[in-house]
Amino acid sequence: MLKAVLFVWMTVVVILALGLPMVNQPQAWYQFPTIPALEEKARIMFFHVPTAWLSVVAFVTSMVYGIRYLRNKQTEDDIKSSAAAGLGFLFCFLATATGAIWAKFSWGTYWNWDPRQTSIFVLLLIYGAYFALRSAVEVEEKRATLAAVYSIIAAITMPFFMFIMPRMLASLHPEPILNVQGKIQMNATMLIVFVSSLAGFTGLYYWMWKLQVRAQTLESKRHFS
Amino acid sequence: MQTEKPYQRWILSAISIFLKDWHSELRTRYAISALVMFVVTTISVIVFALGSESAPVDALSGMLWVVIFFAAMSGLSRTFVAEEERGTVMTLQLVAEPSAVYFGKLLFNLVLIVGVNLFTVILYAIFLNGFVIQSFSIFAGTILLGSIGLAASSTIIAAIIAKANTKGTLYPVLSFPILLPLLLTCINATRLAVEGALLSEAMGEFQFLVSYIVVVVTASSILFEYIWKD
């Protein structure tokens, strides 16, 4: 059921996000406003921002289930934690890739160590280290405990990163959501499509996560029998 | 003689774990010789690579922390890995509380890394001519706080690593994302010291380092118990 709803929802979002015309002065309901300096490239935000958002959501989910695992040592919590981390890695990679492609056309280079790029790079490194650690431990309980502890330590040092990065370099990254100075204007249509895309991607993540958890639970049961 | 209070016993067992590691280190000189040779090798590689060129100050203060980071990665996991290899983990679990073990090991790693960093800095200043420290107080503060932060993070990661199969290669991989905020701040503060900034200009960096140390040590002392008890 969820699968069918998600399919229809995401199809509509993709068609609207890519298909609706962009004009300077939107008159009709179906028109997007042109954002200065971004123009047609602004369409990437319908896909890039949700993936970046989900890579953070997955990171937090993984840590929360890690804490739960440490508290009551249930294998299913570890499965939930590692499944979230796996999806987080996927979405983190997608956000990095879409961001790099956008940067090529807006900034003229795929990678220039913008603060946003640096912090997502560190997030990728943490995910990579997390899986390297998991594959290096064979005993299941030990692997779950060590992975949970590592994800918690990584999560508590991340805020430091968010704090120092802006001090070191000014970012050129546009901020459609935290739009403080009102530099980027979205009209109602654009905002609705954007929020629908965010909701659709989050639903997709939830569905994939449930599926992963079920598959891995079956896998672990097969090992025991 | 009056009876020992619980916290006195805790402090005593932390100190005796530090002393145990210290004596066994003096007997084998495993970590010290590995670290010293690592630092000498790396600095000579940098010197040879530069040749007669003089590198900009930014690059030199960055490279100093590259040497310090990898030196720490080559020697600081020893305290926990050695316990696993000698099979003395069980004994330690019986005689001391987990947090006492953690703080004993942290103290040992701290002494080790402060000593190695002093050695590194002296060699670095002798062999790399472009690296002249203008404001000594900033530099001393950076090295001290940086060493404490480095010891704090690498001790808890070492405890994790000791339980894994691929101990050597995994250590820098796991530590790097955790240590990156610390390293970036230390590189920045070192650059300030070389450029001769006022002490007040580096206060932001120092506050950052202190809060990093407090957060990592607090979290580690809570989480260590889960790693330590099988």
Stretch A12-19: mean pLDDT: 88
Judge whether B86 lies within some domain. yes
- Is B219 in contact with A148 (Cβ distance < 8 A)? no
Q: pLDDT (tens digit, 9 = 90+) per residue, B33-44?
A: 889 999 999 999
pLDDT band at A175 (very low <50, low <70, confident <90, very high): low
Number of domains in chain B: 1
- Chain B positions in Cβ-Cβ contact with residue A124 (cut-off 8 Å): none
Model pLDDT for residues A56-93, shown as the tens digit of each residue: 899 999 999 999 999 999 999 999 999 999 999 999 99
The backbone torsions φ and ψ at residue A53, rounded to the nearest 5 degrees and listed phi first, read -60, -45
The closest alpha carbon to B120, from B64, B50, B69, B72, belongs to: B64
**Residues of chain A found within 8 Å of residue B102, distances taken between Cβ atoms:** none
Q: Mark A131-168 as b/e (b = at least 16 C-beta within 10 Å).
A: eebbebbeeeeebbbbbbbbbbbbbbbbebbeebbeee
Per the listing, tokens 């639970």 go with A217
Average pLDDT of chain A is: 85
pLDDT at A162 > cutoff 80: no
CA distance B151 to A7: 50
pLDDT band at A44; cut points 50, 70, 90:
confident
Cα–Cα distance for residue pair A26/B230, rounded to 1 Å: 64
pLDDT band per the 50, 70, 90 thresholds, residue B220: very high
- Residue B18 C-beta-side C-alpha neighbours within 13 Å: 18
Domain extent, residue B222, equals 6-228
Query: Residue A146: its pLDDT value, please?
Result: 94
Provide the sign of the torsion angle of the four alpha carbons B195, B201, B203, B208, taken in this order. negative
Q: Which residue has the higher pLDDT, B165 or A197?
A: A197
Which B residues, 186 through 205, put their C-beta within 8 Å of a C-beta on chain A?
Answer: 188, 204
Angle at B92 between CA B90 and CA B96, to 5 degrees: 130
Q: Measured between CB atoms, does A169 come within 8 Å of chain B?
A: no
What's the pLDDT band for B201 if we cut at 50, 70, 90?
confident
Q: Distance (Å, rounded) from C-alpha A65 to C-alpha A63?
A: 5
The answer to whether the CB atoms of A160 and B212 lie below 8 A apart is yes
B129 lies in some domain: yes
Specify the residue for token string 């983190």.
A92
- State chain B's mean pLDDT as an integer: 90
* Tally of CB atoms within 10 A around A75: 16
Which range among B61-65, B196-200, B218-222 shows the weakest confidence by mean pLDDT?
B196-200
Q: Is the pLDDT of residue B115 over 80?
A: yes
Question: Rounded to whole angstroms, how far apart are CA atoms B107 and B95?
Answer: 18
Residue B1 lies in a domain: no
